[in-house]
Chains A and B, each alone.
Chain A
Amino acid sequence: MRFVDEYRDPVASRRVLATIAELAGTERHYKFMEVCGGHTHTIYRHGIEHVLPRNVELVHGPGCPVCVIPMGRIDDAIAVAETPGVIFTSFGDMMRVPGGNGTLLEAKARGADVRFVYSPLDALKVAADNPDRQVVFFAVGFETTAPSTAVTLVKARDDRVMNFSVFSNHVTIVPPIKAILDSPDLRLDGFLGPGHVSTVVGNHPYRFVARDYGKPLVTAGFEPLDILQAIAMLLAQIREGRCEIENQYTRIVRDEGNPRALQFLAEVFELRPHFEWRGLGFIAQSALKLRAEFAPWDAELRFAVPGVRVADPKACQCGEVLKGVIKPWECKVFGTACTPETPIGTCMVSSEGACAAYYNFGRLHREAAVTLGRASV
C-alpha cells in the first residue's frame, strides 16, 4: 500500500486543509459542485465535508449515469425486453432501477429473458451465440462508456451481426453542466470537474464554463487528497481573480482526451435534438443516438418503443438531489421509504448515486474525518 499512503497521508491532508482554510478566509461562503458521482463517494467515505471550513460547501451534481435516466426510458427498456424472442442485456446497475412499470429485474421474474453483461462486447457475443433470437443491449453512461458501445456497433456492422441492436441512452457531460449554470435554483462558485469521463473528452469542452459563465473548473482525481487539492486550486483561482479550467488529475487526464475514442463516438453517434434527464428535464443536444448508417442496429427503430413520459413519484426528490438543490438526507423519504434495498429513486440504486453513498457512508463520517486530520469533530 506504499503508493496509496501518499494520498491518504494525514500530514499532507492537514497541510492542504490549512491552505484551504487560509484561502477561504471567513468573509464569504463558497459553494462548489462535484459533477461526478465517484467524487461524491470519496467525499462521503472520507468525511471530507466535515473537515472543510464551514464556509466551503460541496454540492452534488448530475454525474451518475444510472441516476439521470428518466422513468419513461426504463419502461421503454422493459417493453423491449418483454417483446417475444428478445434477449435483453444490461449492466447490473440498471436492473434495479424502477420505472413506472417496475424494474428490469421484475420483468425477468415475470419471464422476460433479461441478462446481465459486463461489457457491450459480451452482449454482441450473446447475439452471435443465439442467431435465432434478437439481442438488445441497454446502453447507458456518459462518454466513459459510450466509446465502448461505439466500438461494439462498428464490430456488429463489420461482422454483419444482424440480430443485435442497441437501445442507446448515452448522455454527454457538458449539456447538464450548462443546464445547471443556467438554472436559477443554484448559485455556484465553481466545479470539481469529472475524472474518468475527462480521460475521453479531455479538458477543452469545459472552457465555456470559465469563458461564458465566469466560473472556475478543476478536473479532479478520486482520492481524498485529490479532492482537497482541487478545492484549494478553485479557491486560489477565486482569490487571485483568475477563472480558468485547470487539471488536478494530470496523472490520467490529458487536455485533448482520448482522440481515438472521440473518433469512434463521432463515427457511430449523433446528438439527439433533446433528451429528458431526471430532475433536469429536457436538455437540448444532451444525448446520443445512432447515426442513420447504423439504423439496422438501432433498437428504437427495430422495436415498438412506447416513449411515454412518466413523472417521478411525488415523494421522490432525486431531481433536487441531482441538481445539488438539496442534500440526500433532506429528502422526505431518505432512509425511510427509500433505501438501497427498496429504492424509490435512482440516486439510491446506483453505487455512484449520492443517496446510496450517504446511506452507506454517512455514519462513518466522524471516524473518517478524524483519520483525515481533524482531531475533534
Chain B
Amino acid sequence: MCLGIPGQLVEFVPDNDQLARVEVSGVRRMINIGLLEDEALEVGDWVLIHVGFAMSKIDEEEAAVALASLRLMGSGLDDEMEMLRGTAP
C-alpha cells in the first residue's frame, strides 16, 4: 500500500482529465491522474501508482527498478497485481 507500483500511460480518457488508462506489468486499468495535473503527462510516460492514484512521474529507468524491487518483495507485488486485476474496469 505504501510502496508505489509503476505503470505506463497508454491512453487518456476523452472528456475526463482526471482519468487515464495505464499498463502495469501487462495489466491495464484506469487510474486517477488528478494529483499530477502540473506535470503535463503524455502517453508513454511512467508514473508511480498508490491505491489507484498516480502520485509521481518517474522515468523508464526508475520504473524498471521499482518493479524489480516489488518483484523481490514477493507477496507485495502479487497482492497489488491481484487487486489491480480484480478491480480493473
| Residue ranges of A at the interface with B (Cβ–Cβ < 8 Å) | 1-4, 6-7, 36-38, 41-42, 45, 63-66, 91-93, 116-122, 140-142, 144-145, 147-148, 151, 196-197, 199-200, 222-223, 251-252, 258-261, 264, 351-352, 360
Q: How far apart sit A7 and B64, CA to CA, in the bound complex (Å)?
A: 11
* Residue of B55, B61, B84, B87 with highest tally of chain A CB at under 10 A: B55
Q: Could you show 8 A-B contacts with beta carbons less than 8 Å apart?
A: A7-B65, A38-B2, A91-B51, A141-B2, A141-B51, A147-B55, A199-B55, A261-B35
Q: How far is the CB of B52 from chain A (nearest CB, A)?
A: 3
Main secondary structure of the interface of B (DSSP, over half): helix
Tell me if A196 and B53 are in contact (CB < 8 A): no
Instruction: Assess whether B68 is interfacial by the CB under 8 Å rule.
Output: yes
| Chain B residues with CB below 8 A from A223, complex form | 65, 69
| Chain A residues with CB below 8 A from B22, complex form | none
Tell me if B52 and A121 are in contact (CB < 8 A): yes
Tell me if A119 and B53 are in contact (CB < 8 A): yes
Q: How far apart sit A145 and B53, CA to CA, in the bound complex (Å)?
A: 9
Give the A-B contact count at a CB cut-off of 8 A: 131
Q: How far apart sit A222 and B65, CA to CA, in the bound complex (Å)?
A: 9
If the complex has contacts A38-B3, A118-B86, A264-B35, are A145 and B50 also in contact, measured as CB distance less than 8 A?
yes
| Chain B residues with CB below 8 A from A145, complex form | 1-2, 50-51
**With contacts A64-B2, A118-B83, A351-B79 known, what are 8 further pairs, Cβ within 8 A?**
A3-B65, A37-B2, A65-B2, A118-B84, A144-B2, A151-B32, A258-B55, A260-B36
Q: How far is the CB of A16 from chain B (nearest CB, A)?
A: 16
Q: How far is the CB of B68 from chain A (nearest CB, A)?
A: 4
Q: Report the nearest B residue to A2, measured CB to CB.
A: B64
Contact-size category for B:
35 or more
Q: How far apart sit A117 and B60, CA to CA, in the bound complex (Å)?
A: 28
Q: Which of B59-89 contact A (CB under 8 A)?
A: 59-62, 64-66, 68-69, 72-76, 79, 82-84, 86-87
Q: How far is the CB of A251 from chain B (nearest CB, A)?
A: 5
Tell me if A147 and B35 are in contact (CB < 8 A): yes
Q: Which 7 A-B pairs have the closest CB atoms?
A: A119-B52, A118-B83, A3-B64, A3-B61, A148-B53, A4-B68, A351-B76
* Residue of A91, A144, A261 with highest tally of chain B CB at under 10 A: A144
If the complex has contacts A151-B32, A196-B4, are A351 and B51 also in contact, measured as CB distance less than 8 A?
no
Q: How far is the CB of B2 from chain A (nearest CB, A)?
A: 5
Q: How far apart sit A360 and B35, CA to CA, in the bound complex (Å)?
A: 35
Instruction: Assess whether B58 is interfacial by the CB under 8 Å rule.
Output: yes
Tell me if A92 and B83 are in contact (CB < 8 A): yes
| Chain A residues with CB below 8 A from B76, complex form | 41, 351-352
If the complex has contacts A261-B35, A261-B55, are A45 and B72 also in contact, measured as CB distance less than 8 A?
yes
Q: How far is the CB of A68 from chain B (nearest CB, A)?
A: 11
